[in-house]
Structure formats: structure tokens, C-alpha cells
Structure 1
């Protein structure tokens, strides 16, 4: 079955997380992704744990389905090879600090001279322009500067980072989204373009109602724990043997919850009969719900509340979600075969297309595994030339 991005060639200059996750998604959808890595070292994540048979599980996951070329970007012969590849490629993705690719002669302005239709995606901490564009960033910085850290955690505790690298992952998603839109535009017009994605921008775009609360009502959102700022009950609640999530965002759902609690009068209580009032009196309402939950285990409570049509969930550990039947039914944990690490389980692709589904068959490449094949098969360079380049440590 043909995949959506078959015959699309991507030159991938990315490393660590945001860029590799973006190009991984393109590879899942059929793109030929050629990962350009530093000879002898490769992507930093080749050296990140956890390890299986001395191979990084982190790298295997983020770089599945790609090809690896080991090239010294400080060598003019390597730059020559890349510019030749650009002529036969569709997309370039990089996540260096702004200005690095320009110094190498591999920025968008330089490469569009080789291929006017090239789509060039740059992922960075603060973007390609703006007062902070030259600042270095990792996910922790992006979450802090983007506003998310200030609203994450409980009010009595210091601000906290989200448990996952949302700055990297959201930037990866927005970059992949931009690349898809740019490919569609090029299909209609023949024009390539530059895509500029900042991790800080990406975090800011995830803040949803928090921004509007400030711009409309001049409220500065603060840390409030797990509850929702404008809907109640929408929080984590203590049951007899653990914790339950209950999420009610309208009066109809609250009526259902009151009924399953066998306290239908709560729906008419003047403290709780509208969402704004429930939020205003959230502390009293939470105490009533937890008193009821104290008679039920997590499993019992989730069954009762869910069957009543109210969104509800246990809090699963990573072990729980990996072993969960729904996760496996959705193919969200799949096994790939790595030539060194052996069989290894990694997350699947969450985008389920009915006609052209993502196909994940190959694990990550070894460092420089495809260098010779690409230079021979794509650029048609002869063996003698390749041997000379190898001798010069290109």
C-alpha cells in the first residue's frame, strides 16, 4: 500500500528531540529521511540511555525508518555532496541555533539556489528572528519562557516542568504540520518556502484559555494544581485506595455525576447549579465528592462514573499504560527489530489513516550506514571518488 509521503526525500540535519521527532513522523508516513550525522559521534541521543545491547533505546525510537549519512559539515566536499542532494530532495529540516547553517553555507537562501522548490524547516528555541533568537534553549527553558511552568504545579509549591518535553514535542508537531502545508502549497504552485518554528512559540500556543483569561479579563493565571480554572468538578479526587480523575465541564454532566452519587439534590444546590458557581465553590464540592469516593476503590469508582457517561479515569503509571489492552489494540506500542539491540518495543504512531496508514517496519540506522549507498545510488559518484573522500575523512 502506498504511503502518503512516498517519493518525498527529506534531508535531516537534526539532533536530540524536536527535530528527530518531526522527521520520524515524516518517515512513518513514507518519506525517505536521510539523517546527516557527525562522523564518529552521530546524534547526541546515540549516547543517551536506556541501552539495550549497548544501543540507545531513545535513539532507536526517534530515528526509526531513517537512513544515516556520516558527513563532516566543516569539509567543503561534504557541503558539495549535500548541495547535490538538495537538488534531488524535497525537504530540509534542521534544529541548530539560528546562524549555524548560514555559516556552513546550508541556510535556506543558499539551498534554494540549488533547488527553488525546496521546503526548509528550521526548529529552534526562540525562532529565526526576534530579540531572543540567539539564546540557547532546551525544553526546560522553552516551558519556562513560554508561560507553561508558571501555571504548572500546586500553589503551595514552586513552579514545575511538565513531566514530558512538551517544548520539543510541540515544536516537532508544528514543524511537521508546517511541512505538510508547504508540500501541499508546492503541489499547487511549485513554490518552496522557509518554515520557522520556535519551541517557545509552540509552548505559548498550547496555553489555550490561559492566554484569553489574561487578554480578555486581565487575569494572570497561577498554579492551581490539577483542577481546571473555569470548570468544576474537573480534578484529581481521592478514592478508597488511590486517585481518580473526574472531568465535568457542563451542567448535563454534573447532573449525571450527582445522580450516580445518589445525591441528585446537588444539581439544584445554589452553590453548584452552574459551572461558574461550582468553580467558585470548588473546595466544598471536592470535599463532598471525596467523601462519596471514600466508599469505593479506584476500579469501582471509575466503572460507576464512566458508565454514567461522565469522563473519568484512573491515573495509570507508565507500566500500566504500556500493558493496557487499549494501548495495544491501538498499536501504540509496537515491536521493531534492531540489528544490534534485537527486538525492542517503542511507541507507535497516533495518527490512524484509513487508506494510507503509517507503517513502522525498520528500526534506526547505524551511524553512517547509508553514506556510500546514497552517494553511489543517488549522486552516482564513482567508487574511486568515494575512497578519496574517505581518505580525507569527509
Structure 2
């Protein structure tokens, strides 16, 4: 039995699954409506990431605050700035500055303190003007472009350790981590233990790497089939719902 006030820590995984299911059901209903009107079937392709990103909290929140649909931010973030990944000498480095003092610390570390006056507070950095946000993004990109991730990480770590030991605790603690390539992620032991990336055998595709979202160790995603050939499941669906197949199905 769950204990009081012990909230789930991986709700995002469940939300992703349900969001994808909702998108899939809506797509099926639209396809059935189109078939009824036009007499033609439709290919349904639902992207898990798109399903989830379309309903997370930020878009409606931003729409309410700015009184207009959110613009396309690309790799930028609405809640924090900077908060994204930036190309460095040997890959990509993710950098996050949660507070104003974290941002100021990052400017010192990266040697671009001269721009501090223009981006003093979080409200200066979070804006509905995409072009303005990209100016700051480009400044950070230029600062990290000539460094390897190890150099970036060491600079951040050294600064943060000094800040953590300071009795004033006002030095800021910006965060950085390395962005892994897909094949590198699949080799990380953490995901192997949790069996997050699993393979399935299919009569048509052979051994297939299932592109699923992360999961908790005891709650595997409900992947029942990986085949996607048009009409493959028609007979099963029609029989399950007591429908009659004809030559057009």
C-alpha cells in the first residue's frame, strides 16, 4: 500500500504513455470518420515525443501569460534561460541556470561577464521575443564552441565546489552535463539494468529495437506488437468489436 504523501517520482513516464494513447485513439477516430466520408483508409503514425510535448504544462501556461500561442523556441526553454544544449568541440554540453546567481556564475565561468547588464534577471531572459532569446543563446554557443566538454565540466565543477564551500552561498551553482549520442545512451549500464531499451523479434522486420520511452523497473510499457504493415490487424480488430469485414477493409 502506498504511504501517505509519498508521491510518485516518475509520473512523466506514465503521462507519456497516456498522452500517446490519447493521440492514437484520436487518430483512429479521425481515420474512421474520413473512411466513412471518403471510403478510403488512412495510415496512422503517432510520435510519442510529439504527443507528450503537445500537452505538458508549459504551452497553455505561456499562452495565458503572453496572450498568444507560444512561438517555436527550438532548443530554448520557456521556464529557464539558459537551459538547453550547446555545441562544443567534441559534442554537445547541456547547461542549466535555475537562479539569477547561477546565471551570473555561468557568465563568469564562460568568460562573458560583459553581457550581464542586459540579462540581469530571469524575466530579462524569458521572453516571447524569440529573436531576443536567441541573442543570448548565440553568446553562450560562441563561449563553449572552442572548449571540449571535459574542459567545460571542469570549469563548472571547480567554480561550484568553491561556491558550495562559501559561507555566503551566493556564488551560484550552474549545472552542466554531457549530451550523449543515441548509441552511447544505449550502452549506459543504468538503462541496461532497467531494460529500458529492449529488442523484439518480428516475422517481417526480424530483430527490432523498440523505440519506447523510459520506464520504471517494475512497470514495462505495454508493447504488444511492433508490426506496422497496412491492414495487418484488420481481422483482429473487426472480430474483437463484432464488425463485418468487406472487400474494402
Question: Which residue of the partner structure matches residue 70 of structure 2?
Answer: 221
Higher strand share: 1
3-state SS in 2 of match to 1:238: strand
Question: 1: CA distance between counterparts of 2:213 and 2:138?
Answer: 40
Cα deviation code 1:288-319 (max 9, x no counterpart): 42343133113432454477453434443322
Higher helix share: 2
The structure-2 alpha-carbon separation of the partners of 1:277 and 1:336, relative to structure 1 and needing over 3 Å to count, comes to: same
The structure-2 alpha-carbon separation of the partners of 1:219 and 1:249, relative to structure 1 and needing over 3 Å to count, comes to: farther
Aligned to 1:205, which of 33, 41, 55? 55
3-state SS in 1 of match to 2:74: coil
Aligned to 1:270, which of 117, 125, 146? 117
Check the 8 A contact 1:231/1:276 in 2, yes or no. no
Question: Which residue of the partner structure matches residue 243 of structure 1?
Answer: 92
Aligned to 1:285, which of 105, 121, 136? 136
Are residues 1:333 and 2:197 paired? Answer: yes
TM-score, reference length from structure 2: 0.52
Check the 8 A contact 1:125/1:137 in 2, yes or no. no
Question: Which residue of the partner structure matches residue 186 of structure 2?
Answer: 322
Question: 2: CA distance between counterparts of 1:365 and 1:210?
Answer: 31
Question: 1: CA distance between counterparts of 2:212 and 2:72?
Answer: 33
Note the residue ranges of structure 2 that are not aligned, 5 or more in a row. Answer: 1-16, 35-41, 161-172, 237-249
Are residues 1:138 and 2:51 paired? Answer: no
Displacement after TM superposition at 1:359 (Å): 6.4
Question: Which residue of the partner structure matches residue 26 of structure 2?
Answer: 124
Matched ranges for 1:145-224 at <5 A: 164-166=47-49, 170=52, 204-206=54-56, 208-224=57-73
Displacement after TM superposition at 1:275 (Å): 0.9
Matched ranges for 1:1-394 at <5 A: 123-125=25-27, 134-135=33-34, 138-139=44-45, 164-166=47-49, 170=52, 204-206=54-56, 208-229=57-78, 231-261=80-110, 265=113, 269-279=116-126, 282-302=133-153, 304-305=155-156, 308=160, 310-334=174-198, 346=210, 350-352=214-216, 357-358=218-219
The structure-2 alpha-carbon separation of the partners of 1:138 and 1:301, relative to structure 1 and needing over 3 Å to count, comes to: farther
Check the 8 A contact 1:235/1:245 in 2, yes or no. yes
Question: 1: CA distance between counterparts of 2:27 and 2:201?
Answer: 34
Note the residue ranges of structure 1 that are not aligned, 5 or more in a row. Answer: 1-17, 23-94, 96-122, 141-163, 171-202, 372-394
Cα deviation code 1:11-64 (max 9, x no counterpart): xxxxxxx99x86xxxxxxxxxxxxxxxxxxxxxxxxxxxxxxxxxxxxxxxxxx
TM-score, reference length from structure 1: 0.36
Check the 8 A contact 1:266/1:272 in 2, yes or no. no
Question: 2: CA distance between counterparts of 1:349 and 1:283?
Answer: 29
Cα deviation code 1:154-196 (max 9, x no counterpart): xxxxxxxxxx4445x65xxxxxxxxxxxxxxxxxxxxxxxxxx
CA RMSD of aligned residues (A): 4.7
Question: 1: CA distance between counterparts of 2:89 and 2:49?
Answer: 33
3-state SS in 1 of match to 2:118: coil
Question: 2: CA distance between counterparts of 1:249 and 1:327?
Answer: 27
> RCO higher in 1 or 2 (8 Å CA, sep ≥ 6)?
1
Question: 2: CA distance between counterparts of 1:365 and 1:238?
Answer: 35
How many residue pairs match? The answer is 187
Question: Which residue of the partner structure matches residue 103 of structure 1?
Answer: none
Check the 8 A contact 1:337/1:363 in 2, yes or no. no
